[in-house]
A and B are shown apart, each in its own frame.
Chain A
């Protein structure tokens, strides 16, 4: 929504920009490597550019690339992307009271552009939803400032990465940088003992069931990990919400 002048003129927009600026370097560098990884993993330049501009979600892009390159069916790629993005579903529940005063197209555009960092900065700055019209305008401008920085850094550096990728020989194996980024994102999600276990079970199942057609090993792995963790919860009387607080 940074193309709306009335939002940009609000002082909270500049605040949002300023608070977010220090993170831009990290986001940009990750975008750069994602751009390189997309092309180096076998996507064409046009496909990589389209993916960058439209999908705008680093971890689901990186997770989709090996599946796309292997020719997995559409629903498996989309289901994997959905699972990788599930954290956003949780964010959207939190953001609902902040955005519901807007018409649907407007809140959905904000939602689409609000990735992890913007969500974190915005909800830290405003612990409570807006109570007056002035607060509504200020919060909208701040959020827009946040994701303007993210969007520019990510897009600019991803496109640069795509442009530079063809000058880097395939044999260097730079596509592996994408996998390493996902190692970090996976670690960031495996925050409790049960979640670490879920990740280990899923990894082992995905390898063991690799021979399944249609990349169904991914679906089998998610199913096995979730069901086994449900069973363990019940068996040991664990409460996942209480586990989160540890």
Chain B
């Protein structure tokens, strides 16, 4: 866990802002027209979903650097309900609310 503000984190934030500019403007930064190599076009199909899944999976099924060994964990049910809600109704906000509606009672009342 980190504490307080540090320069390194502020550097990361500036870097991420640069990534936002770079990705949102990618094809109109330069004046001359250009395209991506073929393999990069194909990677675009999979990399975004893969990157996000890689970030969230450990946040859902791991505690203190280990895979959880119990089903008494509120995060599992919240994530499943959230994903189910998304495929049913769409919308980021609804997914989050549906997931939290499962997570909070289990987490606060049962201590899962």
A95 within 8 A of B: yes
Which of A68, A210, A226 lies in contact with B47, CB distance below 8 A? A226
Q: A96 CA to B13 CA in the complex, in Å? A: 27
- Tell me which residues across on chain B come within 8 A of A195, comparing CB atoms: 45-46, 49
Nearest to B14 among chain A residues (CB) is A54
| CB <8 Å contact, A183 and B95 | yes
Total CB contacts across the A-B interface at under 8 A: 283
A53 to chain B, nearest CB (A): 9
B4 within 8 A of A: yes
Is chain A's interface secondary structure helix, strand, loop, or mixed overall?
Answer: helix
- Tell me which residues across on chain B come within 8 A of A64, comparing CB atoms: 12, 16
Chain A interface size range: 35 or more
| CB <8 Å contact, A190 and B108 | no
Q: A189 CA to B92 CA in the complex, in Å? A: 12
Binary per-residue interface labels of chain A (221-238) against chain B in the complex, 1 for a CB within 8 Å, 0 otherwise: 110011001100100000
Known: A100-B28, A187-B86. A179 touches B23 (CB 8 A): no
Q: A81 CA to B14 CA in the complex, in Å? A: 12
Q: A193 CA to B92 CA in the complex, in Å? A: 21
- Tell me which residues across on chain A come within 8 A of B25, comparing CB atoms: 92, 107-108, 111-112
Which of B31, B43, B56 lies in contact with A179, CB distance below 8 A? B56
A183 to chain B, nearest CB (A): 5
A11 within 8 A of B: no
Q: A170 CA to B32 CA in the complex, in Å? A: 51
Binary per-residue interface labels of chain A (167-182) against chain B in the complex, 1 for a CB within 8 Å, 0 otherwise: 0000011101101111
Q: A188 CA to B104 CA in the complex, in Å? A: 24
- Tell me which residues across on chain A come within 8 A of B12, comparing CB atoms: 64, 68, 74, 77-78
Interface residues of chain B, those whose CB is within 8 Å of chain A, are 1-5, 8-29, 31, 33, 39, 42-62, 65, 67, 74-75, 78-79, 82-83, 86-87, 90-93, 95-96, 99-100, 103-104, 107-108
A-B contact pairs, 17 of them (CB 8 A): A30-B96, A43-B9, A47-B9, A71-B2, A74-B15, A80-B54, A82-B22, A86-B44, A89-B23, A96-B33, A114-B24, A184-B82, A199-B50, A206-B54, A218-B51, A225-B50, A230-B39
> Which 7 pairs of residues, A with B, have the shortest CB-CB distance?
A203-B57, A83-B51, A221-B54, A184-B95, A111-B25, A202-B50, A225-B50
